[in-house]
Amino acid sequence: MAVKEVHVLVDSARKTEIIDTAGTMFASRGVRTSLQEIAEAAGILPGSLYHHFDSKEAIIIELIERYQRDLDDVAERARSELREVDDRRSRERIVALGTAIASCAIRHRAALMLTFYEPPAGASDEFVRLAQRTPTGVEQAMLETVRAAHASGDLRVGIDVRLLANRLCQSMLHVGIGVSHQTPGGEHVPEVRCALLLDGVAVRAPADSTLQRSHAMRAADIEIDSWAERDGDAGDDHGTLVHAARSEFARRGYGATTVRDVAAAASLSIGAVYRLIRSKNELLESIMRGYSTTVTKGWDAVLTSDASTLEKLDALMWLNINVLDRFSEEYKIHAALLPQLPLTTPDLGMSFSAQLRKLRTVLAAGLRSGELQFPKGPADMRARSVFALSWTPENIVRDQGARGALKLARDTVLRGAAAQRGTT
């Protein structure tokens, strides 16, 4: 092999190593990671890094392009397999495609998180274009796969195939954002989530009219009605600052947002901001403390109500839909920060852990009573999967409205979309 070819191979390997290292660091620490830190983690001098990438944005663009290429490859393989004749049932095709999407999301977690937010101010046109690109290829592949399942009679009559495909895609991509795949048995999370959406958790699901009259639903509605508008968001400098910070953290990401960004959005000077708060982390706490308390109080009201396990799960999904509708910015901040725990803000992690423990207790009671059935797997993994699926994707809540989102949740998580699961 010629010396020049050897150098090309070495340069290519080093470039890949830098990208992989940056991806790991961005996934765990966010975009605040510096080029100096990436170079140190890769075991090279900063000058060597600049030989391959002239800026941090160049690395980010490479990460996103890799992710989108792999996602497009997943879509193309799924379409090719649909044109082939094999022995797999359409259900198996759905699970296989869902697992491939989730694996891609996990593998490219940093890029997925980077496209979760708006590009930073001053980003290049190429960065903006890539970040705003929706995964239409894989969404279309899932829709075609679900339609094939519906045409073969493997899905229940009346299922909205477009919404089901959307739900499956979003749920699989969200595997990469969360932390469940890192827990024992986590490699089975995509398959378990697909199975829950297709089969549901109910052995015999109550009718909608019964669910609507449950004590759990009444408890959820009381909590939802208690969510008054924030009086402190405007009218004084602190309220204005909190409002601006919440919007900026949700739009840009906590790590990428500076105090200067928040000050500009609030039309306050840096000095005025630091007279109101001591640090950016304190600002985050002031935003998320109320959100965490609100969600925890709502969950407690539902899960301690005098209702069956299925009624509690139904009411919990309704509560979560309304949380997303009412507190979408806080939810987005929390969802993005969760993989980076432990934080200096303990309440963000503690509320999740406490809610998961309570849900696990309720699910165990449902299994003992014969109300529920689940795919095989560790109890913790099943609980985490139900926890994740109790939150309807935000785009569906936004597009379908709260009632439409609840209908889809009942048709999937409770009753299951597969034809073999009947309803009462």
For residues 341 and 156, the model is more confident at 156
Whether residues 44 and 86 share a domain: the answer is no
Q: How many domains does the chain have?
A: 3
Q: Which of 173, 155, 141, 213 is nearest to 411 (CA)?
A: 155
Average pLDDT over the chain, rounded to whole? 86
Alpha helices by DSSP H, listed for 277-345, are: 280-303, 309-326, 328-337
What pLDDT digit, counting tens, does each position of 221-236 carry? 999 999 975 444 556 8
pLDDT value for 10: 42
- What's the mean pLDDT in 357-382? 89
Please give the structure tokens belonging to residue 5. 């070819």
Over 50: is that where the pLDDT of 9 sits? no
Whether residues 332 and 303 share a domain: the answer is yes
For residues 290 and 314, the model is more confident at 314
Whether residues 128 and 240 share a domain: the answer is no
Whether residues 413 and 337 share a domain: the answer is no
Among 68-77, 205-214, 380-389, the least confident range: 380-389
42: CB partners within 8 A, 6+ apart: 17, 18, 21, 49
Whether residues 282 and 411 share a domain: the answer is no
Whether residues 162 and 257 share a domain: the answer is no
Q: Give 160-192 as a DSSP string.
A: -HHHHHHHHHHHHHHHHHSSGGGSTTGGGHHHH
424: in domain: no
What pLDDT digit, counting tens, does each position of 297-352 carry? 999 999 999 999 999 999 999 999 999 999 999 988 887 775 554 444 444 544 67
Q: Note whether 102 and 70 are within 8 A (CB).
A: no
Q: Which of 39, 6, 44, 9 is nearest to 22 (CA)?
A: 39
Please give the structure tokens belonging to residue 253. 């990401």
Whether residues 127 and 48 share a domain: the answer is no
pTM above 0.85, yes or no: yes
Residue range of the domain that includes 322: 202-373
Whether residues 40 and 173 share a domain: the answer is no
Whether residues 307 and 328 share a domain: the answer is yes
Whether residues 216 and 341 share a domain: the answer is yes
215: in domain: yes
pLDDT value for 119: 79
When pLDDT is cut at 50, 70 and 90, the band that residue 7 belongs to is very low
What pLDDT digit, counting tens, does each position of 170-214 carry? 999 989 887 666 666 678 889 999 999 999 999 998 899 999 999
Over 80: is that where the pLDDT of 215 sits? yes
The Cα–Cα gap between 221 and 214 comes to 11
59: in domain: no
What pLDDT digit, counting tens, does each position of 13-47 carry? 888 888 888 888 887 777 778 888 888 888 888 88
pLDDT value for 4: 44
Whether residues 206 and 191 share a domain: the answer is no
- Backbone φ and ψ for 155, nearest 5 degrees, come out as -115, 155
The Cα–Cα gap between 208 and 311 comes to 10
The Cα–Cα gap between 15 and 17 comes to 5
pLDDT value for 115: 83
Which residues share a beta bridge with 219?
none
Residue 358 C-alpha from the chain's centroid: 21
Over 70: is that where the pLDDT of 169 sits? yes
359: in domain: yes
